[in-house]
Amino acid sequence: MKGAKITAIGAYVPARRLTNHDLEQIVDTDDEWIVQRTGIRERRISREDEYTSDLCAAAVLDLMNRYGKSVQDVDMILVATSTPDFSFPSVASILQNRLGIPATAGAIDMSAACAGFVYALHTAHAYVASGLHRKVLVVGADALSKITDYTDRSTCILFGDGAGAVLVESDAQQDSFTGFHMGSDGSGAHHVYRTNLSHKVNEVDLIDTGKLVQNGREVFRWAVRTVPQGVQQVLNNAGASMEQVDWFIPHSANLRMIEPICERMNYPFEQALYSLEYFGNTSAASIPLALDLGVREGKVVNGQQVLLYGFGAGLTHAGLLMKLALDPEVSRPAPL
């Protein structure tokens, strides 16, 4: 039986900051409301000519520089995103050419919204552990500012742009990934969506503005109920307990969601890592960004058990437990 591990990580966020005070000038809101209800202080917004493929390429370059890694032998590229540059070609195909990855590598985008990165990591593990592929590049990236309605105060305060990338490589000695769980409940598909087609889902007419629309309260309730149950499934699958988990990294949607989720699991909130305070909800990028921040700060180190849990539109959710086994860094990361 072969195994797999994450050997390197990288991240990127655009330079432009959008603070809560900036948002006070755009919609009827205030810094205190946003911090109290979400924990978010600012987010990064891509330039008009900066797209998801640009965010991905920058995150992969950060990974290559920090770990001295080549992508010449990458044999599969998976990009989790809900905001691809185009419907097609895929961001993964654009990335292949841009990074000089051999054209013999496979390349696909995966759409599972804010759960996308964990879904892609599951897939990468399955490819590598089965022996089908040896080195898979997994990127979670979104440019949500491109589809955010900056006249809607209930959504525009939440979202930001960013990307996180990891390399999943085969390991002849052991498998770092030990527990898995995923699910999707389409009966809640109309609670968070983006469309520019006049169309119904679950007998509900969708608003076709091309901007993100959500019923925040419904998503909030669903996530707080679903994530603790899903985490328990991951633990059951691994034969592990929450006491063995050094770091819990849920999707960074809202701090006010992470608190009750930890409470329900009786897990210390101080051991939850998130990226929302300065980056907002970056969808598929939020989990790799939080992991990357933990690694940069020296909090998350090799040998520790990390439990990731993504959730979002679909309604999709996915979690996994892994032991960190990164290669040594060859250069210190520049601050994000």
Question: Which residues are identified as catalytic?
Answer: 114, 251, 281
225 in Cβ contact with 259 (< 8 Å): no
The smaller minimum CB distance to ligand COA, of residues 262 and 326, is found at 262
Question: Taking the alpha carbons of 210, 211, 217, 219 in that order, is the dihedral positive or negative?
Answer: positive
192 in Cβ contact with 201 (< 8 Å): no
Q: Tell me phi and psi for residue 208, to 5 degrees.
A: -100, 60
Interacting span for ligand COA (CB under 6 A) from 173-181, 182-190, 214-222, 228-236 = 214-222
Residue 157 near ligand COA by CB under 6 A: yes
Interacting span for ligand COA (CB under 6 A) from 10-18, 174-182, 247-255, 321-329 = 247-255
Minimum CB–partner distance for residue 276 and ligand COA (Å) = 10
Residue 312 near ligand COA by CB under 6 A: yes
Residue 224 near ligand COA by CB under 6 A: no
- Tell me the sheet residues that pair with 107: 77
Task: Report 5-44 residues binding ligand COA (CB under 6 A).
Answer: 29, 33-34, 37-38
Binder to ligand COA among 154, 174, 232, 304 (CB under 6 A)? 154
Residue 304 near ligand COA by CB under 6 A: no
User: Residue 315, preceding bond cis, omega within 30 degrees?
Assistant: yes
Return d(Cα 266, Cα 243) in angstroms, integer.
10
Interacting span for ligand COA (CB under 6 A) from 130-138, 194-202, 217-225, 266-274 = 217-225
Report how far Cα 253 is from the mean position of its chain's Cα atoms.
10
Element (H, E) at 38: helix 31-38
Residue 253 near ligand COA by CB under 6 A: yes
Binder to ligand COA among 7, 176, 214, 252 (CB under 6 A)? 214
Number of chain residues interacting with ligand COA (CB under 6 A): 20
Task: Build a one-symbol-per-residue string for 163-182: x at contacts with ligand COA by CB under 6 A, - elsewhere.
Answer: --------------------
Return d(Cα 315, Cα 219) in angstroms, integer.
8
Q: Tell me phi and psi for residue 333, to 5 degrees.
A: -70, 145
Return d(Cα 191, Cα 189) in angstroms, integer.
6
| Number of other CB atoms surrounding residue 259 within 10 Å | 14
Please give the single-letter amino acid code of residue 326: L
Residue 289 near ligand COA by CB under 6 A: no
Return d(Cα 206, Cα 193) in angstroms, integer.
8
Minimum CB–partner distance for residue 321 and ligand COA (Å) = 21
Interacting span for ligand COA (CB under 6 A) from 48-56, 237-245, 251-259, 317-325 = 251-259
Task: Report 52-111 residues binding ligand COA (CB under 6 A).
Answer: none
Residue with tokens 């440019």: 143
Which residue in 172, 244, 245, 254 sits closest to 220, CA to CA?
A: 254
Residue 216 near ligand COA by CB under 6 A: yes
Chain residues binding ligand COA by CB under 6 A are 29, 33-34, 37-38, 114, 153-154, 157, 192, 214, 216-217, 219-220, 251, 253-254, 281, 312
